[in-house]
Chains A and B, each alone.
Chain A
Amino acid sequence: MTTTRSRPGPEQPSEEPRIPDPIALDAMATAAPRQEFFGFDIVPPPDRPPQTEREMEVYTLGDGEMLVNMGPQHPSTHGVMRLVLKVRGEVVIDIDPVLGYLHRGIEKLCEEATYTTVLTYVDPMDYMSAMHNEHAPAIAFEKLYGIKAPPRAEYIRALVVELNRVFSHGLMMGFLALDIGGLTPILYGFINRDEVVEMLAAISGQRMLFNFFRVGGVNFDTNDEFMSRLGRWRANVLDTIEMNEKILTENEIFRARTRGMGTLSGKQAIDLGVSGPNLRASGVPFDVRKAHPYCIYDQLEFDVITQPEGDTYARYMQRVAELKQSIHLIDQIVDKMPHGPVQAQVPGIIRPRPGRAYAAIESPRGLYSVYAISDGGPNPYRFRMRDPSFISLQSMPKLLPGHLIADTMAIMASLDPIMGGVDK
C-alpha cells in the first residue's frame, strides 16, 4: 500500500536499503510482478530467501490463503508488535509474531551503568509493572554485594509490588474487554489504576516509572499522604473491581467469546515456558512467591490459585482471583509492617566482588528473573533479564490456528503481553 502525496519527495541516492525492515521489504516486493486474486494481490513473501524452515513454512501460501499483516501499528497489538497471520477466509492457519519494534537495548545499556542506575534503566521494560522490574535486580545485586535490606524495607517492597500487581491485573481485564469490543471496562480499570499510581507517586515521587528500589532497601519510607491514599483506596477498591466484574464475568457475550478459546494444556504451557497467571490458569501451581520465597512472602499467608481450563476465560478469571488475593496480601503486609530503617548502609557506587547471582520474582506476567555477573567493577559485567511476556508470546502459533481473526486479539490480550518487556 503506498500513499498519495501531493508532491512526491526527491529520490535519495541510496547504495543500501534505506529502511531495514520487513515492511519495507514488502513494499519493495510490490514493485515486482504480482499475483492477483480478485483484483487483490496476495502479499508476496519477503523478497529475500527465507532464512529458516519455519519462515518458509509461514510465508509459503497454499491455495486460497493470504497473509494479513497486523501491526506494528494496530489498535490492539498492545504496543508495537507485528503479527503476520496466514488466513483462509477469516480462519487463522498460521501466525508469525515479528518482534523488536521496541528493542531499546536495555541489557546493553545496563552493562554500562552503575548498579544503582541499572534500577532506572529497567523501569520502562515492563511498563505496567515497573515495581516488579526493579525488584528482581535489587535482589540480585543484594546477593552479589552480600547485604540484606532491613525488614521494614522488605515490607514496603512487598506492599508496593502487590499494589502494582493490582493495577496491572485490573488493566488486563480492561484490555481484554477492549479487544473483544467492550468500551467501558478499560475506563473503569483506569480509575483504579490512577488511584494506585497516584498513591505510588506519593511514596516514590514518580507516577509511572517509579525508580523506588535501591540496592539494600527502598528510596523513601511511607508517608502520611501515601497511607491516607492507601486507606481511601482500600475502602473502595473492591467496588471498582466489582463494577468491571459485573460488566464482564457473567456477561453472556463475553463468556461466549472467551470460553474454550485458545486452550493451553498444562504440559504444553510448561513446554512453551509460559509462566505466571497464564501457567496457573492451565492448572500448574507454579508461583515463584511459593516456590522460591523471596522478600517476605514466606511470612504471608496465601495459596497458589489455579484454574483447570486453560482457556481465555480461565486466564481472565485467574487474574481476577489473583487481584483479590493481592488485596488480601496488602492487608496482611500493612498489619505486620515493622518499624525501623528502610535502607541499609550502602556506598554510592557499589563494587561487588566477582560473582554471579540469579534472582527470580513473580511479576504480574509471570517469572521475571535477572541473572547478573559482576567482575568487581562498578557496573555489572553481564545483566540478563528474562521477561515473562516475551516467552509467553511464543505460544501464539500454538494457540491461534483454527480460530478466527476476531479471536486473535482476545487470545493475545488474555496472555497480557507488554511490548516494553517483550522487546527490552
Chain B
Amino acid sequence: MDPAVVETLLGIVRFVAATTLLLLLTVPTAFIVGQMELKVLAQMQLRYGPNRVGPWGMFQSAVHGFKMLAKEDLTPDRADVPTFTLAPWMVFMAAAMSMLVIPFAPGLVAFDSEISVIYFFAIIGLSVVGMLVAGWASYNKYSLLGGLRSAAQMVSYEIPLTLSIVGVVVLTGSLSFTQIVEWQLDHGWAIVWQLIGFPIFFIAAAAEINRTPFDMVEADSEIVAGPFTEYSGMRFGFFYFAEYVALFIMCAILVTLFFGGWLAPWPLPAQLDGFAGTVYGLFWFFLKTYFFVVVAIWVRATLPRVRVDQLMGMAWKGLLPLALVNLFVTAAVVLIFNL
C-alpha cells in the first residue's frame, strides 16, 4: 500500500482514538471540577460540604451526575422538540471538542495543528449557539431572556478574549499551543511578558464561560435558571457537564498561554525526557490548571453578579481598548527588541 495512504489512515485512527479518549475524559473532569466546586465553596462558606458519599464525600458530584441520568426527561408541550433536544448536545460538544488542542504534556496532544489557537476560539464560541437555541426552544420567557443574554455576552467577550491572546501569538510567533509552550521554555512564562494580557484574558474567559461574576445567563435570582429552566434529567446534565468542562478548559488554556503549560516552575527542571517527562508534565499541568479552577471558585464565593449593561460596558469600554493597547505595546516590543 502507498505509504501516504497508510499514514493518512494511521492519522485517522489516531485522531479517532484521541477524540474518544478525550470525550471519555470529559466525564471525570466534570466530576472532579464539580466536586471541587462543592467542597471548596463549602469550605469558603465555613461549611463542611458533602462528606457522606465515599471517603470525605468524594463521590458526591458523581452521584449527582448519575442521579440526573436516571431522572425523567421532560419536554414541555410547546417546545420545539428537535432544537430542544439538540441544544444540550451542542453546548457539550463545543466544550468537549475544544479539548482536542490542549497540550497536556510534551507530545500528549490529540490534534497538534499549526492553527490550534484559531481552532480553539472557533469551537469554544459555538456554545453560544447551543445556549441561544436552548433559550429559544424551551418556550419559556426566562429561557429566552437567558439565551439572549448569553448571545450578547459571548459575542461581546469573544473580542477582548481573542485580542488578549494575539499578544501572546505575536510574542511567540506561533498559532500552535504546543509551540507557544515551547517558546516559554526558552523565554520564561508568558505572564512575565503579558502583564496586561493575562487579567484581560482571565476576565474575558470568566465571562465567556458564564462564571460568576458574569453568570447572568444562569442568574437564578433573576431568570430562574436562564436557558436551562425547562431542562430536566440528563439534558440538564449535559449543560451541567459542559459548564464544568468549559471551566477546566479555560483554565487549561490560561495555563498553556500564560503559565507555561506543562513546564515546571523555575527552580525545578522545566521538562524531563521520556515517559517520566510525560508524567512530570501532566503533574504540573493539572496542578496549575486546578489551581486556577480553585481561583474561579473563590471568585464565585466572593463576588456578586454584575448587570448586563455593566458587563457590556466593561467589555467594550474597558477590556477592548486595553487589549488593543496591550497588542500594540507587545508588537512594538517585539519589533524593537527583535524577539
Q: A1-B140, A39-B136, A68-B141 are in contact. Are A181 and B212 (CB under 8 A)?
A: yes
Q: Mark A171-184, 1 if CB is under 8 A from B, else 0.
A: 00000011111111
- With a cutoff of 8 Å between Cβ atoms, the chain A residues found around residue B309 in the complex are 404
Q: Which of A71-129 contact B (CB under 8 A)?
A: 74-76, 90
A152 to chain B, nearest CB (A): 37
Name which of A225-233, A249-257, A358-366 contacts chain B: A249-257
B51 on interface, CB distance cutoff 8 Å: no
A404 to chain B, nearest CB (A): 6
- 20 A-B contact pairs sorted by A residue (CB < 8 Å): A3-B77, A4-B76, A39-B136, A39-B139, A75-B224, A76-B221, A178-B221, A180-B221, A181-B212, A184-B44, A184-B45, A191-B46, A248-B304, A251-B303, A251-B304, A253-B303, A253-B305, A404-B309, A406-B216, A406-B308
Residue of A nearest to B307 (CB): A406
Separation of A40 and B136 alpha carbons in the complex (Å): 9
CB pair B224 A182 closer than 8 Å: no
CB pair B304 A75 closer than 8 Å: no
Q: Which of A163-202 contact B (CB under 8 A)?
A: 177-184, 187-188, 191
A125 to chain B, nearest CB (A): 25
- With a cutoff of 8 Å between Cβ atoms, the chain A residues found around residue B294 in the complex are none
CB pair B219 A406 closer than 8 Å: yes
Q: Which of A376-424 contact B (CB under 8 A)?
A: 404-409
- With a cutoff of 8 Å between Cβ atoms, the chain A residues found around residue B80 in the complex are 39
Among A1, A177, A181, A404: residue with most chain B CB under 10 A: A181
Residue of B nearest to A68 (CB): B141
A2 on interface, CB distance cutoff 8 Å: yes
- With a cutoff of 8 Å between Cβ atoms, the chain A residues found around residue B303 in the complex are 181-182, 251, 253
Number of interface residues of A (CB under 8 A): 37
B91 on interface, CB distance cutoff 8 Å: no
CB pair B213 A181 closer than 8 Å: yes
Q: Which residues of A contact B (CB under 8 A)?
A: 1-4, 39-40, 66, 68-69, 74-76, 90, 177-184, 187-188, 191, 247-248, 251, 253-254, 256-257, 404-409
Residue of B nearest to A176 (CB): B304
CB pair A90 B77 closer than 8 Å: no
Q: Mark B187-224, 1 if CB is under 8 A from A, else 0.
A: 00000000000000000000000001101100111111
- With a cutoff of 8 Å between Cβ atoms, the chain B residues found around residue A408 in the complex are 222
Residue of B nearest to A76 (CB): B221
Separation of A406 and B310 alpha carbons in the complex (Å): 11
Given contacts A1-B140, A4-B74, A257-B304, 18 further A-B contacts (CB under 8 A): A68-B145, A74-B224, A75-B224, A76-B222, A180-B305, A181-B212, A181-B303, A181-B304, A183-B212, A184-B44, A247-B302, A253-B304, A254-B304, A256-B310, A404-B309, A405-B223, A406-B222, A407-B307
- With a cutoff of 8 Å between Cβ atoms, the chain B residues found around residue A406 in the complex are 216, 219, 222, 305, 307-308
Separation of A183 and B45 alpha carbons in the complex (Å): 9
CB pair B77 A256 closer than 8 Å: no
B41 on interface, CB distance cutoff 8 Å: yes
Q: Which of B290-320 contact A (CB under 8 A)?
A: 300-310
Q: A177-B304, A404-B307, A409-B222 are in contact. Are A3 and B76 (CB under 8 A)?
A: yes
Separation of A4 and B305 alpha carbons in the complex (Å): 34
CB pair B74 A3 closer than 8 Å: yes
Separation of A178 and B301 alpha carbons in the complex (Å): 11
- With a cutoff of 8 Å between Cβ atoms, the chain A residues found around residue B136 in the complex are 39
Q: Which of B104-144 contact A (CB under 8 A)?
A: 136, 139-142, 144
- With a cutoff of 8 Å between Cβ atoms, the chain B residues found around residue A3 in the complex are 74, 76-77
Separation of A407 and B216 alpha carbons in the complex (Å): 12
A362 to chain B, nearest CB (A): 29
Select which of B44, B139, B219, B310 is within 8 A of A181 by beta carbon: B219
CB pair A183 B41 closer than 8 Å: yes
CB pair A257 B141 closer than 8 Å: no
- With a cutoff of 8 Å between Cβ atoms, the chain A residues found around residue B306 in the complex are 253, 256-257
Select which of B46, B140, B149, B305 is within 8 A of A187 by beta carbon: B46
Among A1, A177, A178, A248: residue with most chain B CB under 10 A: A1
Select which of A66, A74, A180, A187 is within 8 A of B304 by beta carbon: A180
Select which of A1, A74, A76, A181 is within 8 A of B215 by beta carbon: A181
Q: Which residues of B contact A (CB under 8 A)?
A: 41, 44-47, 74-78, 80, 136, 139-142, 144-145, 149, 212-213, 215-216, 219-224, 300-310
CB pair A404 B77 closer than 8 Å: no
CB pair B304 A405 closer than 8 Å: no
Select which of B140, B144, B216, B304 is within 8 A of A182 by beta carbon: B304
- With a cutoff of 8 Å between Cβ atoms, the chain A residues found around residue B144 in the complex are 40
Residue of A nearest to B223 (CB): A405
Separation of A76 and B305 alpha carbons in the complex (Å): 14
- With a cutoff of 8 Å between Cβ atoms, the chain A residues found around residue B149 in the complex are 90
Separation of A253 and B149 alpha carbons in the complex (Å): 19
- With a cutoff of 8 Å between Cβ atoms, the chain B residues found around residue A39 in the complex are 80, 136, 139
Among A184, A251, A254, A257: residue with most chain B CB under 10 A: A184
Residue of A nearest to B215 (CB): A181
- With a cutoff of 8 Å between Cβ atoms, the chain A residues found around residue B74 in the complex are 3-4
A191 to chain B, nearest CB (A): 7
Separation of A179 and B222 alpha carbons in the complex (Å): 8
CB pair A1 B139 closer than 8 Å: yes
Q: A40-B144, A90-B145 are in contact. Are A409 and B44 (CB under 8 A)?
A: no
Q: A4-B74, A184-B44 are in contact. Are A257 and B221 (CB under 8 A)?
A: no
- With a cutoff of 8 Å between Cβ atoms, the chain A residues found around residue B216 in the complex are 406
The 5 A-B residue pairs with the shortest CB-CB distance in the complex, in nearest-first order? A181-B305, A182-B304, A76-B221, A180-B304, A181-B304
Select which of B47, B140, B145, B221 is within 8 A of A409 by beta carbon: B221
B291 to chain A, nearest CB (A): 21
Among A66, A69, A247, A253: residue with most chain B CB under 10 A: A253
B185 to chain A, nearest CB (A): 38
A97 to chain B, nearest CB (A): 17
Separation of A9 and B239 alpha carbons in the complex (Å): 32
Separation of A284 and B220 alpha carbons in the complex (Å): 35
- With a cutoff of 8 Å between Cβ atoms, the chain A residues found around residue B305 in the complex are 180-182, 253, 257, 406
CB pair A184 B302 closer than 8 Å: yes
CB pair A183 B301 closer than 8 Å: yes
Separation of A69 and B223 alpha carbons in the complex (Å): 11
- With a cutoff of 8 Å between Cβ atoms, the chain A residues found around residue B141 in the complex are 40, 66, 68-69
Separation of A90 and B75 alpha carbons in the complex (Å): 26
Separation of A2 and B74 alpha carbons in the complex (Å): 11
Separation of A227 and B300 alpha carbons in the complex (Å): 38
Select which of B213, B221, B307 is within 8 A of A75 by beta carbon: B221
